[in-house]
Amino acid sequence: MSDSVQPKLIVHGGAGSSLQGKGGIDAVRQALYQIVDEVYGLLRDGKSATDAVVRGCQLLEDNPRFNAGTGSVLQSDGQIRMSASLMEGISQRFSGVINVSRVKNPIDMAKFLQGERDRTLSDMGAAELARELHLPIFDPTTDKRLKEWLQDRKDNFQRSMANVIAEDEAGRGTIGVVALDSQGRIAAGTSTGGKGFERIGRVSDSAMPAGNYANRFAGVSCTGIGEDIVDECLAARIVVRVTDGMSLQEAMVRSFEEATENQRDLGAIALDAQGNIAWGKTSEVVLAAYTDGETRGDSLEAENGTVVFVV
């Protein structure tokens, strides 16, 4: 590996149809840029892509504006169940937790599992792991999310809670980070609080290779409607296409054309080993920000409709 690679970074805070529920464009841009600046500082100082991705996910999880960690949405029974995954590109090693409760940063558990034989754990197993790691009990509920859940329940009291899905911005909320470090290593991480008011036991794309995938050629983190992302197997599809010889731009364009044809509601951020930075969306908005070490940019004012942008 060359030690002269210019690190690159892209992060996202979800997708949807409006920025208003997250405080408006200026507030979202400021929040994302602060995270980009701190995380890129780690890459500039020689930290690994994996360390940078974990730190970026922690910062996004800790910001109640985004639907992951603190500020996660409530499921149909009023509980929060979060999922997160991490993939390191050189080893091509995936790890994650599914529907974990009462922890501050699910991405920390995904990081620990990178070194374990059993690398993806669901609800009970994830809860047991949290106890083994002596993670402090943490309630990620915010007043805003509780009010949203109470309103959803009021609006749908005549229907079975297990058959109701909240049709708001939370449904497409996820956070993610993809990084290329100075050694040419790529890592991707994704974390979510779910889509809100969902059936108990529902599994999101965020702890699957469909929503988070990386190898030595490229890395991708997805956001949007989880079922749509799974149906497209979007993250893995893009990475495999780059691995098979497509440019990152070609892989993104082809994959988003297919997603559009299939009427999917989703977005993705990506990096390749050559340092190309990309994002794409079929939703109206994807909340992404990036830096190449010299300039920052974001996706917040991109036109509506399907867009693929490559730096």
φ and ψ of 66, to 5 deg: -110, 155
d(CA 291, CA 16): 22
3-state SS class at 60 = helix
3-state secondary structure of 144: helix
Please, which residues bridge with residue 190 across strands?
85, 176
Of 120, 174, 192, 282, the active-site residue reads 174
Burial class (CB in 10 A: 0-12, 13-18, 19+), 85: buried
Q: Which two tokens stand for residue 272?
A: 């390749």
How many angstroms separate the CA atoms of 35 and 77, rounded? Answer: 32
Residue whose pair of structure tokens reads 């993250």 in the numeric block = 235
Start-to-end CA distance of the chain, whole Å, equals: 23
Burial of 71 (C-beta count, 10 Å sphere; 0-12/13-18/19+): buried
Label residue 143 exposed, middle or buried (CB < 10 Å: 0-12, 13-18, 19+).
exposed
Contact 273, 181 (CB under 8 A): no
DSSP percent split of the chain into helix, strand, coil, nearest 5: 35, 25, 40
Asked if 282 is an active-site residue, the reply is no
Tell me the catalytic residues. Answer: 174
